[in-house]
A and B are shown apart, each in its own frame.
Chain A
Amino acid sequence: MKLVAQDISKIREDFPILNRQINGRPLVYFDNAATSQTPTKVIETIVDYYQNYNANIHRGVHQLSQEATDAFEQARVKIQKHFNAAHAHEIIFTSGTTQSINLVANGFSSLLKKGDELIVSALEHHSNIVPWQMLCEKTGAELRVIDMLNDGTLDFNKFKSLLNSKTKLVFVNHVSNALGTINPIKSIISLAHQNGAAVLIDGAQAAPHIRANMQQLDVDFYTTSGHKLCGPTGIGMLYAKDEWLRKLPPYEGGGEMISEVTFEKTTYADLPHKFEAGTPNVCGAIAFGAAIDYMNSIGFEAIAAYENELLNYATDELLKIENLKIYGPDTSHKTAVISFNIVGIHPYDLGSILDKMGIAVRTGHHCAQPIMDFYSIPGTVRASFSFYNTKEEIDLLVRGVIKAKSMLL
């Protein structure tokens, strides 16, 4: 169950990109929260699709179309099982989390009225803020914000005080992309439900580390992107409860999503096709399924335990550097993400020099400007770890930061 060094070197062989050299140095990839790397199994799935059964799905009578349709629908079932959704049709394929959120926001525009309230958390990625602001402009509903506390967690009392009979929807991320904070979504969902509000959880950052259980959480909407968990870009999912998918109007019109079309009236297709207009990302969905299989073959518990080991090690080592400040909660309340700065050094400068050393980190506001404003900083350097990273790589990061610091100060 526990991943040891030997397992990790074997796992690393599954990721061809990890052999890359950057500026003559071996790549140290610590930008996993932005996108994860792709194992050979997933790459082979993509190649196999285009070499052997590339076809448009659902209405083709020919063999290739049937094979592609089967594989596409099997991927949906894999994802359903992984997230323990009650029905396969509750999984809608989208281009990713952003589209999933926009789909729900668009659907709610016909369900909200002036004076209704929506609750957002201060820890959100812009993609879980902007679609709702647009929705508020359209409907006259108002956005309320759950403040964050200095330790990078949410002010739960504030959340309780915001809930009232006008609250229609609450949206919070499962894990913050900028800080790694794991939010208490189970309590958020149950409190919101007690007040008659629906809940959308942005699971983009949680999905590679935590296997979320839809039925146990009793969540209304849950979103994620395939490329965060070893799948390709351009594919993601929206989980929504059956009752919501029936209530919400379609997002886009086109082929695939109809049952009957005349110029007088169109009837929409049954779920999930009502929300999947046009030719979907067939290959992407199949590869997303393969990525989930790959990660489950290692096991999410083993992944989380190992990543936590990396997180603790990196935190201890980085904190030995004088004037280095880590933002966000302690390691027991977050995923393997370290968002940090060194006093007197701009994160962009530090990130640029680390890049020259072959170390890929992310710098900037991480599309979460409200968090940066809260701390009054222009941004942070964010190192995010995955199960294919090693302690040796963390040592390289620490040495790199020390070197960059001596150059910049």
Chain B
Amino acid sequence: MFEDWMQRYEYMIELGKSLPLIDSAFKNDDHIIKGCQSKVWLYAHLDSDKIQLTADSDAIITKGIIAILIRVFTNQSPKDILEANTDFIDKIGLKEHLSPTRANGLVSMIKQIKMYAIAYQTKLNS
């Protein structure tokens, strides 16, 4: 059990290092998800009809979490993002990060990604 979590955290730290980093021009207060524990910057732009996500955080484990989310959600259409099921969080054993006291919590990151998807879907439909 102990080794199990260690491997998981080591993997998350590795993932954090591979995070597609936000362009420094967008790493500002307009793109921040402020939390009690660590900061997250998240940026989404539309490339043809797919959303591309980049991000950064001042904490490496948080970077790992957001890297997992980006793997799942990036390069997808706004519609697919909005319809995406988030049950995978439980399955990969990240449920504890759903707690509101945790960093920014996965919840607010997912919410932000879905907000971007709503905005871009509206733009595509108009």
Interface residues of A (CB under 8 A from B): 23-25, 345-349, 352-353, 356-357, 363-365, 378-379, 407-408
Nearest CB of chain B from residue A82's CB, rounded to whole Å: 33
Interface string of B20-59 (1 = CB under 8 A from A): 0000000000000000111100000000000000000011
Closest residue of chain A to B5 (Cβ to Cβ) is: A356
Bound form: Cα–Cα A408–B16 in Å: 11
| Additional 20 contacts, C-beta under 8 A, given A348-B37, A348-B59 | A23-B1, A23-B2, A24-B1, A24-B2, A25-B2, A345-B60, A346-B38, A346-B58, A346-B62, A348-B103, A349-B59, A352-B61, A353-B61, A356-B5, A357-B2, A364-B36, A365-B36, A378-B38, A378-B39, A407-B6
B61 and A348 contact, CB distance less than 8 A: yes
A407 and B9 contact, CB distance less than 8 A: yes
Instruction: List 5 A-B pairs, minimum CB-CB distance, nearest first.
Output: A346-B59, A348-B37, A348-B59, A348-B38, A24-B1
Number of contacts between A and B (CB, 8 Å)?
A: 45
Complex interface residues of chain B between 37 and 93 (CB less than 8 A to chain A)? 37-39, 58-62
B6 and A356 contact, CB distance less than 8 A: yes
Q: At the interface, yes or no: B13 with Cβ under 8 Å from chain A?
A: yes
A408 and B38 contact, CB distance less than 8 A: no
Nearest CB of chain A from residue B2's CB, rounded to whole Å: 6
Closest residue of chain B to A24 (Cβ to Cβ) is: B1
Bound form: Cα–Cα A407–B62 in Å: 15
A364 and B60 contact, CB distance less than 8 A: no
Bound form: Cα–Cα A364–B59 in Å: 11
B37 and A363 contact, CB distance less than 8 A: yes
For A348, what are the chain B residues with a Cβ–Cβ distance below 8 Å?
A: 37-38, 59, 61-62, 103
For A345, what are the chain B residues with a Cβ–Cβ distance below 8 Å?
A: 60
B36 and A346 contact, CB distance less than 8 A: no
A349 and B2 contact, CB distance less than 8 A: no
Bound form: Cα–Cα A379–B36 in Å: 10
Nearest CB of chain B from residue A229's CB, rounded to whole Å: 24
For A408, what are the chain B residues with a Cβ–Cβ distance below 8 Å?
A: 13, 60
Can you sample 27 A-B contacts with CB below 8 Å? Answer: A23-B1, A23-B2, A24-B1, A24-B2, A25-B2, A346-B58, A346-B60, A346-B62, A347-B37, A348-B37, A349-B60, A349-B62, A352-B9, A352-B61, A353-B61, A356-B5, A356-B6, A357-B2, A363-B37, A364-B37, A365-B36, A378-B38, A378-B58, A407-B6, A407-B10, A408-B13, A408-B60
Cβ-neighbour of B9 out of A24, A353, A364 (below 8 A): A353
Interface residues of B (CB under 8 A from A): 1-2, 5-6, 9-10, 13, 36-39, 58-62, 103
A407 and B13 contact, CB distance less than 8 A: yes
Bound form: Cα–Cα A27–B39 in Å: 29
Bound form: Cα–Cα A36–B94 in Å: 29
Nearest CB of chain B from residue A203's CB, rounded to whole Å: 25
Closest residue of chain B to A25 (Cβ to Cβ) is: B2
Nearest CB of chain B from residue A259's CB, rounded to whole Å: 44
For B37, what are the chain A residues with a Cβ–Cβ distance below 8 Å?
A: 347-348, 363-364, 379
For A24, what are the chain B residues with a Cβ–Cβ distance below 8 Å?
A: 1-2
Nearest CB of chain A from residue B113's CB, rounded to whole Å: 21
Nearest CB of chain A from residue B39's CB, rounded to whole Å: 7
Bound form: Cα–Cα A348–B37 in Å: 6
Given contacts A378-B38, A379-B37, A407-B10, contact A349 B61 (CB under 8 A): yes
For A25, what are the chain B residues with a Cβ–Cβ distance below 8 Å?
A: 2
For A379, what are the chain B residues with a Cβ–Cβ distance below 8 Å?
A: 37
For B60, what are the chain A residues with a Cβ–Cβ distance below 8 Å?
A: 345-346, 349, 408
Nearest CB of chain B from residue A368's CB, rounded to whole Å: 13
Bound form: Cα–Cα A408–B62 in Å: 12
Bound form: Cα–Cα A347–B59 in Å: 8
Cβ-neighbour of B5 out of A23, A347, A365 (below 8 A): A23
Bound form: Cα–Cα A379–B61 in Å: 16
Nearest CB of chain A from residue B67's CB, rounded to whole Å: 14
Nearest CB of chain B from residue A370's CB, rounded to whole Å: 16
Nearest CB of chain A from residue B51's CB, rounded to whole Å: 27
For B2, what are the chain A residues with a Cβ–Cβ distance below 8 Å?
A: 23-25, 357
Nearest CB of chain A from residue B17's CB, rounded to whole Å: 11
Bound form: Cα–Cα A408–B1 in Å: 20
Nearest CB of chain B from residue A73's CB, rounded to whole Å: 38
Bound form: Cα–Cα A258–B36 in Å: 41
Nearest CB of chain A from residue B96's CB, rounded to whole Å: 9
For B10, what are the chain A residues with a Cβ–Cβ distance below 8 Å?
A: 407
For B13, what are the chain A residues with a Cβ–Cβ distance below 8 Å?
A: 407-408
For B5, what are the chain A residues with a Cβ–Cβ distance below 8 Å?
A: 23, 356
For B38, what are the chain A residues with a Cβ–Cβ distance below 8 Å?
A: 346, 348, 378
